[in-house]
Structure 1
Amino acid sequence: MLLGLAVLAAALASSGAHALATPNLHKRFGEPAVKHSWVEVPEGWMDDGSVPPADHTINLRIGLKQNKIDVLIEQLYEVSDPTSASYGKHLSKEQVEALVAPHPDTVALVEEWLAAHDISPAHCSRSPAGDWLSVNVPVSKAERLLDTNYRVFRRRDNGNSVVRALSYSLPRFLHDHIDVVTPTTMFGSLHEMRSTGFIQPSGFKAVTDDAEPQRLVLPGRLATLPASCGTTITPTCLRILYATDTYVPAATGTNKLGVAGYLGEFANDADLQTFFRQFRTDAVGQTLTHVQLNGGGNNQSQPGVEANLDVQYTEGISSPTPNIYYSTGGSPPFTPDSATPTNTNEPYMDWLNFILNQTTIPQTFTTSYGDDEQTVPNDFAVRVCNQFAQLGARGSSIMFSSGDSGVGAGSCRTNDGTNKVVFQPTFPAGCPFVTAVGGTTRVNPEVAVSFSQGGFSNYFARPSYQDAAVSKFLTGVGTKFQGLFNPAGRGFPDVAAQGNGFQVIRSGRVISVGGTSASSPTFAAVVSLLNDFRIASGKAPLGFLNPLLYSSLVPGFNDITSGSNPGCGTTGFTAVAGWDAVTGLGTPNFTTLKNIVAGL
């Protein structure tokens, strides 16, 4: 986007001032080298033509290189590989922190650099492992530190504003010591993250579990399924469909399920009880634990569709397993008030740092939010992905919805200046350390739902655990869509679950909701029951699932072999036998999966 002449002149003047003010610093530390930059203003945003006041305060976070992150990832795979002697021997909080702590040389160099810019290391807050430094600084000082210019950018759709930069730089020698600095070029804020759920049209009528007497017999099952489950989903549908209906959790004193919430979405306690009375009467009275962080709220007068969907279906399947809803505050619109530091931290960062700082954490997590991968700076994506690896190493299974745009939403054009049309993977679903969940619809048999997002990451290489499954799928695809996706990238989703017509209570009334944001909590609830079974049997929780999913657990999935995920002006990928980039390995059969994990 071109700047007006006056704005451009101001920007150049500001840049010149930085250059004149820092010759001694450049001589001492070397000329700055770009750490990350955008070719153009990211899609959906516009430069509003203004700059923040020089004394406007921001909370700057510096992610120091984690000295033994490669060792941590290696150990993550060892404790997650069912053929390893270390399987299930998850790491403690202290062991993880020891591996991600920065090298002393890194700490010394970064502190010297900060001190040279009159930022006292003593004034910096530090994460328990020391891999994050946080300090409040005037934007003018941040600009000199990062050789950048912060501007005010506005969302085109809702007018929300943030203070961001189109690029930032560090002395070249620090590139090996600093992974990422925020807030800088990450435009996706908690207010701009997309929930992967949506209220469905009236054609998906609301029902109760007793509204349809007709029943369908599932192959190989004695239980019968209400015929209404073909269009409207309730806990009864899912519990019978995925064979959890006869399992009674026995480790509820230890096992927990965590739901990450953003966007000012609040899970309503009264609606949860109404949901239980209508759809899971034996769970009436079970409560939900609310944890608020980073300014997150719990406004019970404003029930959120996404929040209610998530907790009603995690609890509706996993009851009486304790559930925790984490309400994470978001970035407020920018206001030029220098008296109070602006909360400009990015998605997932605050939640992840909070969870990793807890001594005891849930064994299962689900999150129903994501961004187009290309809108997330690579340095930010890699650092966040590695934080998910830390959670997995500590024994947690992490589910993310894959997205609701087939192989890509909108024009599918790249934002690197080439303006090419390519398939658009999502983040964090494309991170190899999370389990991405796609969507299905109908029953007897289930088929892929058309919006189920899937494809291949452009940031993360295909992990070895899915080599065989993905290679087979790619052989079937052949030269179709050549050039539209990265065949060497991490494939997603990994698994799938129902994603259409979920009956949700909001403000005391039933609405119908769809999206892979329904699929992720559903699959997470099944995983939570598997963790319950493991813990009750004296075994470790499953932890990072993917190496196990693509090996021992394959027989425990209902293979989805029809349907596709159109997008980007194409027909998209097609569900086939085995893994596919629409429904992954398929949907879970709890009974079979339970029998498999019993022997691990």
Structure 2
Amino acid sequence: MPIILGALPVLVCGTATLAIPADRYLVVDQLQNVPDGWMRQSGPATSTPTRFWLAMRRSNVSQFEEQVIARSTPGHPEYGRHLTREELRASMRPSEQAAAKVRSWLEWEHVPAESIEDRGDWLAFTIPLSQAESMMKTQFSHFYHSRTQTTTIRTLAYSVPEDVRPFVQLIQPTTRFGSPQAQDSPETFVPVALTAEDLAGNCSRTVTPACLRQLYGINDTEIIPDPRNRLGVSGFLEEYARYDDLEQFLAEYAPNQADANFSVVSINGGRNLQHSLSPSSEAALDIQYALSLSYHASAVYYTTAGRGPMVQESGMLTRADSTNEPYLEQLHYLLDLPDKDLPAVLSTSYGEEEPFVPAAYAEAVCNLFAQLGARGPVFPASCPFVTSVGGTEGMDPESAISFSGGGFSDIFTRPSYQDADVTSYLQSLGNIYEGLYNPQGRGIPDVSTQANNFVLRDHGEWMKTGGTSAAAPVFAAIISRLNAARLEQGKSTLGFLNPWLYSLKQRGFTDIVDGGSVGCDEPTGAQMATPDLRTLLTSLHSSLSAHDLEKTTTLLTQAKRTLLQQNALIPTPTTPRDLLPLAREILELGALAAIRQTDAPGFTRYYQQLQPFYDLERDSRESSSQRSKITGLYLLLLLSMGDSTSFHTVLEGLVEEASLQGRSVEDDPFIKYPVELERNLMEGSYDKVWRETNSERVPGEDFGLFSSVLVGTIRSEIADCSEKAYPSLPISNAKNLLFMDSEGAVIEFAQQRGWVLRDGRIYFPVEPEAAARSEKDILVASGTIIENAIGYARELETIV
């Protein structure tokens, strides 16, 4: 996707250039589009200090990873001998050439030496965004995620000098958008009123520690507590483990562990607030089951702050919702610990979908997991050097649960410890799913445990939940018990588990052969689907009208699953004809819901899915759809994203179709609105755009949402140029210049940009290169603003 401002009239602001020619820069990573669920917003304040992690390439990565697997394989001469911190650091040093080249580049770019942290093959450094944009030839923006309601600072591409590129694996946070999320079931956490049957532990309806001990044969044993048997639990996303909830849970469901407790370690400013009103169900689930099932383990809750790259001048996080790289912060912290303080097991109930994680980032982080595995800890999570835990449900039989993920990686190749089992499994499949997965990829999960109907205590309330986030602490607790037994016998902890797990040939495990997701049989499927879809459609209309977007999203998922089962998600000759209008209407409602969630990628997918249905509609000359509205919204979205090429491609098709029918595209108010806005933008008439987006001519509420994004884009461009044109402006003049309704709105906008407010004026940050600009340069930039901000020339002349 092109940069947002690419198709708008450019305000010539003037930028400083590096001494290194631009053609000597090579791209390190580039995204073609903004990732699903994210929407670009205004640019951040260029003075924002940002902490970056740079991973240097090493030539011995594969040899090191083979060594980790060998040391973790029973029968190997060095099995169980974990590397010390110093041994690991020695093996992780990059080549002298790589270190010198990267250090020279940072010095050339005036990165403060005191801000650089050397972590072997990784470097961390903190610089303002303006400096990062200059040295990486990029532009950062704010991006908003509608589902999680978080904002982060990212870019779509970045580059480094040609002679530095061979030694740089990645620099983050740049192009990695995803943030960890708890691996919950679709129902997530549901408050419940527990019955006497639940409290007694009826395992057919409620999973408790007693149920799990019975199912997996976990018996209490007399083992002397060993401080080396440290059980770590990862905490992300401002989830806080509450001591009083743990005490009440253990008293009810694990009285034999009533004295169990945990300590807290803060990473990167992470907190563990005991009186926060925010839900902490994931933290409660993890810590309560890890402690109730382990035995005398030294439990530690590692609370890691961060979702993106925003820090104060002091280096501390600005607020809880800032988003530093939480995985990188946690992994580097753990790798830096002395051997005696390292956890023997770390339970992580958070994950991200592989398609949305840059491959270079995934590989670099996975190598960090390998480094930790070489020192001893084991991680129930997902990559060849961690143990992936899936989910089951039921007791007799225990069966695979419908929402537990599994399959084969498109990033990581199959590790050697999986060869025998995966090869046998693929042979049993034959060619039934050929082409739908990567047969050479790393298979997941490695193990599974119960993952549904778990009872927990959060904020003094009993709840039930499910998900592989419940399975991870269960398996971690089991491994903690095994580590305790090994330590008592004078052996080392198990360390990286996977080679040992696969060497067991399923001894001690139950082969899960039941369960999974099923659809309807073909002969009766369409007959069953039609009434269900009509019911869902009615509910969708109601929830969307009531602005209940959470319910709408759930209903859309159910409806699309039904359409997929009936071969109606994409129309084909075999699709039942009575399903076509239902399918089209469901997708249209999905498109409108995506707009109201400001989910631009989601809306784009719905628009593309609707085109085959609209083609059928044109052929039949029947029109009962919302095609004009959806198309007009798509044009407005393209305009707000600066995608001029796609805008005109769609418009040309509409013009041709309208001419064949003897009419003009501007006869349609839904199409006329974005066309007029685009015309005004090309003229540089920002004042007309602002008036149009605030007039009665806006076709409807949904258009108003994308119109606001468009105005925000224009406002950010004017703000960028104002920073370069003027040392300061009166707030009253800035209100007119930025199309603000009040001076209060100007003040809020100025604070977001990092501008200084004093004595009724806005003072713009002065960067070193800007301080040396000539009066002529400033006048040229000022004149450009005057020329483009038509309608406000009088105010601007006063300012000049």
After TM superposition, the score normalised by the length of structure 1 is: 0.80
- Aligned pair 1:44/2:18, yes or no? no
Letter in 1 for 2:297: T
What is aligned with 2:332? 353
Which stretch shows the higher mean deviation, 261-270 or 325-334? 325-334
**Structure 1 counterpart of 2:471, from 504, 519, 542:** 519
- Aligned pair 1:288/2:262, yes or no? yes
- Aligned pair 1:111/2:103, yes or no? yes
What is aligned with 1:372? 353
Partner SS state of residue 142, structure 1: helix
What is aligned with 1:261? 235
1:67-466 matches, cutoff 5 A: 68-120=60-112, 122-127=113-118, 129-189=119-179, 193-197=180-184, 206=194, 211-212=199-200, 228-302=202-276, 304-331=280-307, 344-359=323-338, 360-400=341-381, 429=382, 431-466=383-418
Does the C-alpha gap of structure 1 residues 554 and 105 become closer, same or farther in structure 2, counting only changes over 3 Å? same
Deviation at 1:446, TM superposition (A): 0.5
**Structure 2 counterpart of 1:31, from 24, 29, 34:** 24
Deviation at 1:25, TM superposition (A): 1.2
Deviation at 1:169, TM superposition (A): 1.1
2: CA distance between counterparts of 1:8 and 1:564?
Answer: 50
1: CA distance between counterparts of 2:364 and 2:334?
Answer: 16
Deviation at 1:395, TM superposition (A): 1.1
Deviations along 1:287-346, one digit per CA (max 9) or x if unpaired, are 111111111111112361000000100001003212111110123696999998766422
What is aligned with 2:544? none
1: CA distance between counterparts of 2:191 and 2:130?
Answer: 54
Letter in 2 for 1:297: R
Deviation at 1:144, TM superposition (A): 1.6
Letter in 1 for 2:25: P
Query: 1:355 touches 1:361 (CA, 8 Å); kept in 2?
Result: yes
Letter in 2 for 1:180: L
2: CA distance between counterparts of 1:202 and 1:168?
Answer: 43
2: CA distance between counterparts of 1:525 and 1:355?
Answer: 20
Partner SS state of residue 62, structure 1: strand
Query: 1:25 touches 1:116 (CA, 8 Å); kept in 2?
Result: no
1: CA distance between counterparts of 2:228 and 2:195?
Answer: 34
1: CA distance between counterparts of 2:312 and 2:92?
Answer: 36
2: CA distance between counterparts of 1:36 and 1:204?
Answer: 47
Deviations along 1:367-393, one digit per CA (max 9) or x if unpaired, are 011111111111111110000001110
Does the C-alpha gap of structure 1 residues 132 and 466 become closer, same or farther in structure 2, counting only changes over 3 Å? same
Letter in 2 for 1:40: N
Does the C-alpha gap of structure 1 residues 329 and 336 become closer, same or farther in structure 2, counting only changes over 3 Å? closer
Letter in 2 for 1:555: R
1: CA distance between counterparts of 2:487 and 2:512?
Answer: 30
Does the C-alpha gap of structure 1 residues 205 and 475 become closer, same or farther in structure 2, counting only changes over 3 Å? farther
Query: 1:161 touches 1:333 (CA, 8 Å); kept in 2?
Result: no
Letter in 1 for 2:147: D
Query: 1:56 touches 1:338 (CA, 8 Å); kept in 2?
Result: no
Does the C-alpha gap of structure 1 residues 92 and 3 become closer, same or farther in structure 2, counting only changes over 3 Å? closer
Query: 1:453 touches 1:565 (CA, 8 Å); kept in 2?
Result: no
Partner SS state of residue 52, structure 2: strand
Letter in 2 for 1:482: E
Partner SS state of residue 466, structure 1: helix
Partner SS state of residue 36, structure 1: strand
Does the C-alpha gap of structure 1 residues 332 and 468 become closer, same or farther in structure 2, counting only changes over 3 Å? closer
5+ residue gaps in structure 1? 213-225, 401-428, 572-600
Deviations along 1:107-130, one digit per CA (max 9) or x if unpaired, are 11111111222224x233324x43
Letter in 2 for 1:319: Y
Does the C-alpha gap of structure 1 residues 346 and 201 become closer, same or farther in structure 2, counting only changes over 3 Å? closer
Partner SS state of residue 519, structure 1: helix
What is aligned with 2:428? 476
Which stretch shows the higher mean deviation, 451-460 or 472-481? 472-481
Query: 2:49 touches 2:128 (CA, 8 Å); kept in 1?
Result: yes
Partner SS state of residue 361, structure 2: helix
2: CA distance between counterparts of 1:474 and 1:265?
Answer: 40
What is aligned with 1:588? none
Letter in 2 for 1:36: D
Does the C-alpha gap of structure 1 residues 565 and 348 become closer, same or farther in structure 2, counting only changes over 3 Å? farther
1: CA distance between counterparts of 2:416 and 2:315?
Answer: 51
- Aligned pair 1:550/2:502, yes or no? yes
Flag as ranges the 4+ runs of structure 1 deviating above 6 A.
201-205, 332-342
2: CA distance between counterparts of 1:340 and 1:529?
Answer: 38
Deviation at 1:67, TM superposition (A): 5.6
Which stretch shows the higher mean deviation, 52-61 or 497-506? 52-61
How many residue pairs were aligned? 515
Letter in 1 for 2:301: Y
Which stretch shows the higher mean deviation, 199-208 or 361-370? 199-208
Partner SS state of residue 476, structure 1: helix
- Aligned pair 1:528/2:480, yes or no? yes
Query: 2:153 touches 2:308 (CA, 8 Å); kept in 1?
Result: no
1: CA distance between counterparts of 2:494 and 2:265?
Answer: 24
5+ residue gaps in structure 2? 519-556, 566-800
What is aligned with 1:421? none
What is aligned with 1:596? none
**The structure with more radius of gyration:** 2
2: CA distance between counterparts of 1:549 and 1:531?
Answer: 14
Deviation at 1:207, TM superposition (A): 5.5
Partner SS state of residue 397, structure 1: coil
2: CA distance between counterparts of 1:460 and 1:502?
Answer: 32
Deviation at 1:504, TM superposition (A): 0.2
Letter in 2 for 1:196: Q
Deviation at 1:552, TM superposition (A): 2.4
1: CA distance between counterparts of 2:482 and 2:155?
Answer: 45
2: CA distance between counterparts of 1:542 and 1:102?
Answer: 29
Partner SS state of residue 319, structure 1: coil
Deviation at 1:514, TM superposition (A): 0.6
Partner SS state of residue 249, structure 2: helix
**Structure 2 counterpart of 1:561, from 513, 533, 545:** 513
2: CA distance between counterparts of 1:335 and 1:117?
Answer: 21
Seq. identity, %? 37
